[in-house]
Amino acid sequence: MTQTPVRTPEDHAEHHSHVEAAASVLTAKQVAEAVPVALRKLDPRQLVATPVMLVVEIGAAATTVMSVLDPSAMGWLVTLWLWLTVVFGALAESVAEGRGKAQAASLRALQTETTARRLRGGADGAEELVVSTDLRVGDVVVVEAGERIPGDGDVVDGVASVDESAVTGESAPVIRESGGDRSAVTGGTLVLSDRIVVRITSDPGHSFVDRMIALVEGSERQRTPNEIALNVLLSSLTVIFVAVCGSLYYLADYSGAHQSWLVLTALLVCLIPTTIGALLSAIGIAGMDRLVRRNVLAMSGRAVEAAGDVDVLLLDKTGTITYGNRQAYEIVPVVGVTVTGAENAAVLASLSDQTPEGRSILTLVGRSMDGPAEATMVMFSATTRMSGLDSPGLNVRKGAASAVAVWVKENGGQVPAETDEIVGEIAESGGTPLVIAERRDGDPARVLGVVHLKDVVKDGIRERFDELRAMGIKTVMITGDNAATAAAIAKEAGVDDFLAEATPEDKLALIRKEQRGGRMVAMCGDGTNDAPALAQADVGVAMNTGTTAAKEAGNMVDLDSDPTKLIDVVEIGKQLLITRGALTTFSVANDVAKYFAILPAMFVGAFPALDVLNIMRLSSPESAIVSAVVFNALIIIALIPLALRGVSYRPSSASALLRRNLLLYGVGGLIAPFLGIKLLDLVVSLIPGL
């Protein structure tokens, strides 16, 4: 079992506030570094991906030509602010991308070419010195204290302390060892002690660090289905407004209110959804960046969006709902067995058990024992849910009550009713019972006693589950404990449901069942046996301490290996979707308000009845056009920090969130242009020539 960091709710809140503070700061240095990148993004070949901004650029180019051929103060002002509109849109995306460049630079330091000691012919071969870029999948290398691991791989022999701070940001070293779920190592990390043999699992250019760099820089970012759908909608609206503005030229001429192509171009840019068109990419990049700042890597924007749509959250009990440090509290023998006899069997069954629980049994008993000669250790696994020892004349098992009961019956024994009573009492108290059994000299197997493991539910976890419930998310606790223990802890923690005595196959079956019901499922895992479920889940968060198979199966990797963070991932996903929806609402509402600023000013001379719509009473048609164009550009700059930080999110139902956002961003989007354009008009009207 992989040990995971334990964070109290206070730690979580403090870390969350630091992350949000860092994410919300937009420094002058960041903007200065983003400007050259933004200017390069003005290449029409790049703007094809955002048709709305491409139309704005075409309009800016057209008004430039018009202003050169027929110079006027209004023409040059409109041209200037149309170009600034395009630049501001590119700047939003450049700033969002630039926030990951510092982390990418530190990661590149890990990619320096090193000398590796490759073993010819496998783990028992002779050493040869090669450069790390010559290593390929399947090569076996030796790494000792003070050396950097030359490539991603799995430890196949030995145990060592490894400094992974350059990747995870965590200064404390971690243990990496062969077998189990802590065997994966990352290229470029430093071995601090001992010696390990590593089998390389990735070719140069395809390592975990390479993927991290690509992700934080955004070079591998692909549009998500939701982004594509929204982009199609925005493009459709743009096409409609292009047709409308083109038709207005002839309608205005026919009505005796001639309008120049310069004015109609300005009108077009003000009417199309430039605000959300300019910020759409930045919102998606910033969502992934917020995850990176929480030390979670999302392999795609689709994974982040899926987190926002999650309906069911599968959470491991140990380390997520409880503190994960279950310790042996007492060993209860059954009738006819001495305490010493039960303790000796528990010690023998725990000799091969490297889990914290197994080691705590040795600590509780306070003495060690040597196993019998020619003994074969039976390792604990998630499938068998037992550990023990097999030797001539003696077989010992310790594990989940149901698993040991099956073993006892298969070996000719019976489980006494007293065992069920002890197991039930421990389970009902919220503890975890482990049954001890043995078989001697071919006699029927018999139960010797029960180990009582104690764990504690994390403070504040019930409140977090209440928040998830308010969001409409169902929480399911996954545990290897029996049903009684699971029920007691589930009730204390406040989860909606639980899956007891769960095997990897049970997890996979539960995920498929929920998905067949049309629900989106998120889970976390760290072992090879979790890989199928991680791959099946809509959001699979693999722990960085886990195996290579688990990290490849999931669509996110938590560098802190903190399973509690799955809840944060869901909240960030929802914040991304809410931010995109809120700014889309604001953008559309903005456009509606701009109709009242521009159209009455343009046509009130030909159609006096339109005067009733001229509620802003702007100084002149020219001032109205220029003020609207300036506001259209400035609102993009004003909203960049919000797009990067994300809309403030409070756990509540979908209907409550919709009402709140319609009120705040819908009504706000209507009011802001009225105030902004009116104030700008007061300034613009003072410019000579307007």
Asked if residue 381 belongs to a known ligand binding site, the reply is yes
The 10 Å CB-count burial string (b at 16+, else e) for 106-122 is: ebeebbeebebbbbeee
Is 386 annotated as a binding-site member?
Answer: yes
Tell me if 10 is assigned to a ligand binding site.
no
387: tokens are 């550990």
Whether 558 is catalytic: no
Burial grade of 515 (CB within 10 A; 0-12, 13-18, 19 or more) = middle
Q: What are the residues facing 524 on neighbouring strands? A: 541
3-state DSSP call for residue 431? coil
377 is in an annotated binding site: no
Cβ atoms of residues 79 and 260 within 8 Å: no
d(CA 82, CA 9): 48
383 among annotated binding-site residues = yes
Beta strand 556-558 pairing with 539-543: parallel
CA 361/CA 367 separation, integer angstroms: 10
- Judge whether 382 is annotated as a binding position: yes
Helix/strand/coil for 342: helix
CB 543 within 8 A of CB 563: yes
Evaluate whether 274 touches 632 at the Cβ level (below 8 Å): yes
- Confirm if 439 and 445 have CB atoms less than 8 A apart: yes
CA 213/CA 191 separation, integer angstroms: 22
Q: Enter the tokens of residue 548.
A: 């290579």
Answer whether 689's CB lies under 8 Å from 613's CB.
no
- Rounded to an integer, what distance in angstroms lies between the CA atom of residue 480 and that of residue 383? 10
Could you give the CA distance from residue 124 to residue 312 in angstroms, rounded to a whole number?
A: 48
Q: How far is the C-alpha of 425 from the C-alpha of 317, rounded, in Å?
A: 20
384 carries a ligand binding annotation: yes
Q: How many helices (DSSP H) and strands (DSSP E) are in the chain?
A: 25, 21
Q: How far lies 645's CA from each of 11, 14, 273, 297, in Å?
A: 21, 17, 21, 18
Q: Which of 316, 538, 562, 568 is catalytic?
A: 316
Structure tokens of 562? Answer: 């903190």
> What is the C-alpha radius of gyration for the chain, rounded to an integer number of angstroms?
32
Q: Is 357 annotated for ligand binding?
A: yes
Q: Which H helix or E strand runs over 541? A: strand 539-543
One-letter amino acid for residue 317 of the chain: K
Question: Nearest-CA neighbor of 196 among 172, 170, 174?
Answer: 174
DSSP letter string, 568-599: HHHHHHHHHHHHHHHHHHHHHHHHHHHHHHHH
Whether 303 has a binding-site annotation, put simply, is: no
Size of the chain in residues: 690
Three-state secondary structure string covering 129-174: EEEHHHCCCCCEEEEECCCECCCCEEEEEEEEEEECHHHHCCCCCE
DSSP string, 93-123: HHHHHHTTHHHHHHHHGGG---EEEEETTST
Structural contact between residues 267 and 273, judged by C-beta atoms closer than 8 angstroms: no
Q: Is 289 annotated as a binding residue?
A: no
* Alpha helices (H) along 218-337: 225-255, 261-271, 274-293, 301-308
The CA distance from 301 to 292, in Å, is: 12
Main-chain dihedrals φ then ψ at residue 297, nearest 5 degrees: -100, 120
Helix (H) or strand (E) holding 678, with range, is helix 668-684
Q: Which residues pair with 322 in a beta bridge?
A: 457
Binding-site residues for ATP? 353, 357, 380-387, 398
* Residues annotated catalytic, as ranges: 316
Known binding residues are: 353, 357, 380-387, 398, 526, 530
Query: Which residue numbers belong to the known binding site for Mg(2+)?
Result: 526, 530
